[in-house]
């Protein structure tokens, strides 16, 4: 039986604002999983706290909705324990780049086979409009009445500089393209960071659907994502337009393949064998 | 008979190596050995010591007695020379003097052996010879130890020759000579940290994530060393917050998961402990205590985090807290903790401390046949028969059927938000009430089913009831025996939560008085006893300096109380 969108439907009441940029991202995730013919029981979505991290509840799938910012850490362990699972991480720009910034750095270092999707709407939505790590300088918020002065983080540049093995940018206003991008990120063996530009209909008035439609463009066939310096130039020297697509990729050894001796026995049925400690006694004499 | 040997010197002088060699040599000679170490937080210099109690009966208390002082540094001689009385013996360098100094010296013999770095092995050989241990045993240990360091091996083997020869030539009296038992010995030379790691393997651990922090690091180090043999996944996390969230993720995915840390790292983990409570994820957390607050005394020991462990995590989190009473107990309680954590889908905390983690002893192979071996997840077949699977299904005892993601066609949903039985975010009055009640039901189930036996030294009727916990056991017991065993009933608690309030209340009512002894600044067990039994202890013996309680100080302090 082929996997269809219907397999991923559930009836959990949605808590997002009408028109939220998370809706097309949710659609794109389902479309990508169907495109890859992955069954819901073989897919795990890991998230933290915020509006974006509620996404795993709104499709029928294994879901670990943990603590704010700790998505990558929890997902890393789940993938190590259950390497056959396809593991996606959903975070907002607050959780992924603020509270969880350290975990992102180390997920990149490990190159564990996770697809981390950061819903980057450049604002803290659920806490009512504060600046996020990616909010542009000058943005007025209740906490920054004179405008944000800290420079926004440049997530793709950060990831490329650390040899993140797959760095992409998508847009919630380009759903079809996003679903293809997510499928490619999931297929990639290693850690994938997909920064998704997303409108916030309640707090953010700049990055609207219309703005994204007008300023974003899809990287064409002439662009080589294996050229690290070209990738860095693309994200460090913006020309006012927003590139969408695979910005950088490289092949690196995948972390969880370093191997456990019990790979063929799922962790939840692995036997408890107290006498197995006897094989360690020779080290203690 | 008992010999207390203290090897003192600077960090980097090989104190630990010497203590390890001497301890193993005594073990292979059939003797009982207990070794604890006292070290500063530095890699070179300062003043450290290792203290070995070697006897022909089991011993595990911390003693201040020094029968034999090996002073590798002048500071070491100055610090502990006065502790050696006329019946004692001092082994030091030629230019230092002590009334009990031997006629031959560490530096001269090491020089003759070919390396000043052989002083520690000279000391091992001299002390071993004095105790009547076989030279061959010490030589073999040196060969095993220095197998990868050819030059040091030669010098150290020569040091063994010279040390034994010096003792033969000096023909000392036989006050430290043991009558040795059978040389056949299958015992293990093991630390509390190693026993904890071994207990984790015995309890079926499949995942550990941790961030290095003294005195907990040895759990991760040993499991990593054994990983190829055991298949345990060991992950060095980027910080303790990552470690506990990795434990949560691994546990959700079906692993028996654990971490090990000390107070500061544990403090960082507390939000994660709350998460474990909310998503009902099994997990074992080893909290190896050291004195705080803040960085405190990083290499020292304390029992000062009991209330941190009791209350860690916002909201109400069911939990179990064990405190192993000695090195063997580290193994048993860690193994049992992994089972209980999975059975009741709850965090289990194991409180040890620097004293317990770093101490070493010789133990016979463990009897593990009574340890639990059951897993508590639904099988694929059981899951297939279910029309629906709800991770947080309400049950009579509050414990929901446990399933791992990927085990069946059902999906498994866990949420740190309050959730419905299926795991999805919910905040209605009805669901919030039902789920809070479910977790309380589970807590009650845990309270009735997790009850380690209470082991009293005597019936407290007509006696003073002395309460201690965890690593203090043997030191307190030895001190009481030196004062007058007939006046005390000693109870060392290994389970701090759920608290055995009813049993303890009954015991306290029978006793003539209650004395609590613990190595912390406020009396944390005493406070817990008062809260749970509504009865205050008559005397609380505490300690401020981050050093372990000793037999001698307890004798001094408790004599005044009885």
Distances (CA, A) of B257 to B58, B252, B302, B346, B381: 34, 9, 26, 12, 24
Q: How many CB atoms lie within 10 A of CB B451?
A: 12
Is A242 exposed, middle or buried (CB count within 10 Å of its CB: 0-12, 13-18, 19+)? middle
Token duo for residue B119: 């002083």
Domains of chain A: 5-257 (3.40.50.970)
Q: How many CB atoms lie within 10 A of CB B134?
A: 16
| Cα(B179)–Cα(B131) distance, integer angstroms | 9
Nearest by CB to residue B252, choosing from A57, A64, A80, is: A64
Handedness of CA B237, B238, B242, B243 (dihedral sign): positive
The residue assigned the tokens 């479309």 is A31
Distance from CA of A28 to the nearest CA of B (A): 20
The confidence score (pLDDT) of residue A250 equals 97
First to last CA, chain B: 29
| Cα(A52)–Cα(A200) distance, integer angstroms | 11
A277: which chain B residues are within 8 Å (Cβ-Cβ)?
198, 201-202, 366, 368
Specify the 3-state DSSP secondary structure of A195.
strand
Nearest CA in chain B to A56: B413
Say how many CB pairs under 8 Å bridge A and B: 218
Candidates A47, A73, A266: best to mutate against B (most CBs of B within 10 A) is A73
B239: which chain A residues are within 8 Å (Cβ-Cβ)?
102
The confidence score (pLDDT) of residue B182 equals 66
A280: which chain B residues are within 8 Å (Cβ-Cβ)?
198, 201, 226, 229-230
Nearest by CB to residue B368, choosing from A67, A277, A279, is: A277
A82: which chain B residues are within 8 Å (Cβ-Cβ)?
253-254, 404-406
Distance from CA of A170 to the nearest CA of B (A): 27
Q: What is the pLDDT of residues B59-98, one digit of tens each?
A: 999 999 999 999 999 999 999 999 999 999 999 999 999 9
Nearest by CB to residue B406, choosing from A67, A85, A277, is: A85
- Residue B255 to residue A81, Cβ atoms within 8 A: yes
**B386 in contact with A, Cβ within 8 Å:** no
B410: which chain A residues are within 8 Å (Cβ-Cβ)?
41
The confidence score (pLDDT) of residue B485 equals 79
- Residue B204 to residue A106, Cβ atoms within 8 A: no
- Residue A261 to residue B230, Cβ atoms within 8 A: yes
A46: which chain B residues are within 8 Å (Cβ-Cβ)?
249
Q: Has residue B445 got a pLDDT over 70? A: yes
With contact defined as beta carbons under 8 Å apart, do B52 and B69 qualify? no
Nearest CA in chain B to A43: B406
Q: Has residue B502 got a pLDDT over 90? A: yes
- Residue B238 to residue A54, Cβ atoms within 8 A: no
Specify the 3-state DSSP secondary structure of B544.
coil
| Cα(B337)–Cα(B287) distance, integer angstroms | 13
| Cα(B227)–Cα(B224) distance, integer angstroms | 5
Please state the rounded mean pLDDT for residues B531-550.
97
Token duo for residue B498: 């759920």
- Residue A74 to residue B237, Cβ atoms within 8 A: no
Nearest CA in chain A to B371: A274
* Residue A157, C-beta contacts closer than 8 angstroms, at least 6 positions apart: A232, A235, A236
For each of chain A's 285 residues, which pLDDT tens digit applies? 899 999 999 999 999 999 999 999 999 999 999 999 999 999 999 999 999 999 999 999 999 999 999 999 999 999 999 999 999 999 999 999 999 999 999 999 999 999 999 999 999 988 999 999 999 999 999 999 999 999 999 999 999 999 999 999 999 999 999 999 999 999 999 999 999 999 999 987 788 999 999 999 999 889 999 999 999 999 999 899 999 999 999 999 998 755 555 557 899 999 999 999 999 999 998
The confidence score (pLDDT) of residue B474 equals 98
Q: Has residue B296 got a pLDDT over 70? A: yes
| Cα(B277)–Cα(B344) distance, integer angstroms | 11
Nearest CA in chain B to A264: B231
Token duo for residue B377: 């997840």
Q: Has residue B184 got a pLDDT over 70? A: no
The confidence score (pLDDT) of residue A260 equals 53
* Residue B367, C-beta contacts closer than 8 angstroms, at least 6 positions apart: none
Candidates B253, B279, B361, B371: best to mutate against A (most CBs of A within 10 A) is B253
B144: which chain A residues are within 8 Å (Cβ-Cβ)?
none
B247: which chain A residues are within 8 Å (Cβ-Cβ)?
77
Mean pLDDT of chain B: 96
Core vs surface per residue A245-266: b (16+ CB within 10 A) or e: bbbbbbeeebbbeeebeeeeeb
A112: which chain B residues are within 8 Å (Cβ-Cβ)?
none
> Dihedral, CA atoms, B163, B169, B173, B176, nearest 10 degrees?
10
B271: which chain A residues are within 8 Å (Cβ-Cβ)?
67
H/E run at residue B517: strand B513-517
Q: Which of residues 393-422 of B touch A (CB under 8 A)?
A: 403-417
Nearest by CB to residue A267, choosing from B253, B410, B424, is: B253
The candidate with the shortest Cα–Cα distance to B283, out of B311, B264, B255, is B255
β-pairing verdict for A166-171 and A242-249: antiparallel
The confidence score (pLDDT) of residue B87 equals 92
Q: What is the pLDDT of residues B246-269, one digit of tens each?
A: 999 999 999 999 999 999 999 999
- Residue A77 to residue B232, Cβ atoms within 8 A: no
| Cα(B409)–Cα(A62) distance, integer angstroms | 10
A271: which chain B residues are within 8 Å (Cβ-Cβ)?
204, 373, 375
Token duo for residue B463: 């006696």
| Cα(B297)–Cα(A6) distance, integer angstroms | 59
Token duo for residue B414: 């866990």
Distance from CA of B198 to the nearest CA of A (A): 6
| Cα(B211)–Cα(A172) distance, integer angstroms | 38
Q: What is the pLDDT of residues B159-168, one digit of tens each?
A: 999 999 999 9
Nearest by CB to residue B254, choosing from A56, A57, A267, is: A267
| Cα(B283)–Cα(B251) distance, integer angstroms | 7
The confidence score (pLDDT) of residue A262 equals 57
β-pairing verdict for A115-120 and A86-92: parallel
**B96 in contact with A, Cβ within 8 Å:** no
Nearest by CB to residue A280, choosing from B229, B243, B369, is: B229
Distances (CA, A) of B33 to A84, B5, B25, B65, B234: 48, 11, 10, 15, 31
The confidence score (pLDDT) of residue B461 equals 97
Please state the rounded mean pLDDT for residues B431-457.
98
A88: which chain B residues are within 8 Å (Cβ-Cβ)?
none
The predicted model scores a pTM of 0.97
- Percent of residues, chain B, with pLDDT higher than 70: 99
- Residue A63 to residue B415, Cβ atoms within 8 A: yes
Q: What angle do CA B436, B438, B444 make, to 5 degrees?
A: 105
Q: Which of residues 177-196 of B touch A (CB under 8 A)?
A: 186-190, 194
- Radius of gyration (C-alpha) of chain A in whole angstroms: 20
The candidate with the shortest Cα–Cα distance to B61, out of B424, B553, B551, B562, is B551
A270: which chain B residues are within 8 Å (Cβ-Cβ)?
204, 206, 256, 375
The residue assigned the tokens 């959780």 is A95
The candidate with the shortest Cα–Cα distance to A81, out of A273, A263, A253, is A263
Q: Which of residues 279-318 of B touch A (CB under 8 A)?
A: 279
Q: What is the pLDDT of residues B104-149, one digit of tens each?
A: 999 999 999 999 999 999 999 999 999 999 999 999 999 999 999 8
- Residue B249 to residue A106, Cβ atoms within 8 A: no
The residues pairing with A248 across neighbouring beta strands, listed in sequence order, are A167
| Cα(A136)–Cα(A150) distance, integer angstroms | 8
Distance from CA of B25 to the nearest CA of A (A): 10
| Cα(B350)–Cα(B286) distance, integer angstroms | 5
């Amino acid at each position: 039986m082929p996997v269809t969108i219907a397999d991923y439907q559930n009836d959990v009441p949605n808590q997002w604002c009408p028109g939220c940029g998370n809706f097309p991202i949710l659609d794109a995730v389902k479309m990508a999983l169907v495109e890859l013919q992955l069954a819901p029981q073989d897919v795990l979505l890991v998230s933290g706290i915020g509006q974006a991290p509620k996404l795993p509840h709104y499709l029928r799938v294994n879901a670990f909705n943990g603590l704010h910012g700790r998505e990558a850490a929890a997902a890393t362990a789940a993938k190590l324990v259950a390497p056959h699972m396809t593991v996606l991480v959903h975070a907002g720009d607050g959780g992924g780049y603020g509270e969880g910034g350290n975990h992102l750095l180390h997920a990149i270092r490990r190159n564990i086979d996770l697809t981390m999707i950061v819903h980057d709407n450049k604002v803290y939505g659920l806490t009512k409009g504060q600046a996020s790590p990616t909010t542009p300088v000058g943005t007025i918020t209740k906490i920054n009445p004179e405008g944000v002065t800290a420079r926004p983080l440049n997530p793709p540049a950060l990831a490329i500089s650390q040899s993140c093995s797959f760095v992409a940018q998508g847009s919630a206003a380009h759903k079809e393209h996003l679903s293809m991008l997510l499928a490619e990120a999931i297929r990639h063996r290693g850690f994938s960071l997909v920064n998704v530009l997303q409108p916030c209909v309640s707090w953010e008035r700049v990055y609207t659907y219309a703005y994204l439609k007008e300023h974003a463009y899809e990287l064409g066939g002439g662009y080589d994502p294996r050229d690290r310096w070209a990738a860095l130039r693309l994200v460090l020297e913006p020309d006012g337009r927003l590139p969408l697509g695979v910005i950088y990729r490289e092949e690196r050894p995948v972390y969880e393949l370093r191997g456990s001796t019990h790979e063929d026995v799922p962790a939840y049925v692995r036997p408890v064998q107290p006498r197995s400690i006897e094989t360690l006694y020779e080290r203690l004499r | 008979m008992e010999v207390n040997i203290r090897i003192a010197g600077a960090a980097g002088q090989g104190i630990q190596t010497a203590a390890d060699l001497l301890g193993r040599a005594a073990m292979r000679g059939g003797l009982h050995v207990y070794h604890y170490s006292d070290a500063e937080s530095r890699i070179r210099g300062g003043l450290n010591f290792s203290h070995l109690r070697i006897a022909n009966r089991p011993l595990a208390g911390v003693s201040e007695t020094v029968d034999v002082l090996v002073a590798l540094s002048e500071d070491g001689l100055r610090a502990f020379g006065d502790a050696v009385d006329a019946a004692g013996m001092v082994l030091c360098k030629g230019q230092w003097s002590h009334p009990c100094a031997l006629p031959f010296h560490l530096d001269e013999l090491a020089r003759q052996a070919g390396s000043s770095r052989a002083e520690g092995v000279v000391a091992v050989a001299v002390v071993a010879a004095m105790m009547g241990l076989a030279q061959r045993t010490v030589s073999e240990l040196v060969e095993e130890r220095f197998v990868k360091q050819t030059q040091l091996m030669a010098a150290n083997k020569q040091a063994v020759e010279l040390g034994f020869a010096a003792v033969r030539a000096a023909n000392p009296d036989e006050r430290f000579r043991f009558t040795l038992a059978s040389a056949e010995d299958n015992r293990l030379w093991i630390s509390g940290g190693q026993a904890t790691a071994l207990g984790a393997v015995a309890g079926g651990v499949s995942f550990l994530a941790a961030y290095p922090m003294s005195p907990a690091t040895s759990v991760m180090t040993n499991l990593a060393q054994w990983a190829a043999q055991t298949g345990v996944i060991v992950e060095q996390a980027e910080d303790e917050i990552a470690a506990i969230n990795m434990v949560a993720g691994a546990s959700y995915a079906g692993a028996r998961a654990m971490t090990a840390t000390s107070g500061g790292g544990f403090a960082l983990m507390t939000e994660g402990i709350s998460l474990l409570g909310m998503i009902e994820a099994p997990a074992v957390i080893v909290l190896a205590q050291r004195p705080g607050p803040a960085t405190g005394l990083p290499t020292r020991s304390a029992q000062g985090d009991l209330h941190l462990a009791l209350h860690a995590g916002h909201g109400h989190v069911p939990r179990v807290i064990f405190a192993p009473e000695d090195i063997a107990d580290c193994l048993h309680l860690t193994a049992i903790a992994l089972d209980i954590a999975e059975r009741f889908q709850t965090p289990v905390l194991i409180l040890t401390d620097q004293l317990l983690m770093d101490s070493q002893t010789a133990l016979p192979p463990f009897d593990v046949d009574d340890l639990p071996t059951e897993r508590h997840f639904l099988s694929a077949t059981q899951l297939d028969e279910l029309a629906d699977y709800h991770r947080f299904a309400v049950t009579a005892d509050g414990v929901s059927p446990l399933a791992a993601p990927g085990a069946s066609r059902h999906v498994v949903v866990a949420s740190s938000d309050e959730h419905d039985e299926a795991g999805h975010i919910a905040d209605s009055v009805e669901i919030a009430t039902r789920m809070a009640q479910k977790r309380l039901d589970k807590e009650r189930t845990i309270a009735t089913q997790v009850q380690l036996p209470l082991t009293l030294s005597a019936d407290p009727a007509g006696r003073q009831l002395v309460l201690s916990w965890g690593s203090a056991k043997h030191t307190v017991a030895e001190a009481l025996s030196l004062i007058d065993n007939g006046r005390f009933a000693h109870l060392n608690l290994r389970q701090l939560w759920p608290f055995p309030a009813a049993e303890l209340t009954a015991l306290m009512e029978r006793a003539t008085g209650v004395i609590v002894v613990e190595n912390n600044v406020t009396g944390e067990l005493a406070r817990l006893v008062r809260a749970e039994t509504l009865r205050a202890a008559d005397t609380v013996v505490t300690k401020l300096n981050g050093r372990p309680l000793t037999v001698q100080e307890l004798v001094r302090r408790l004599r005044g109380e009885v």
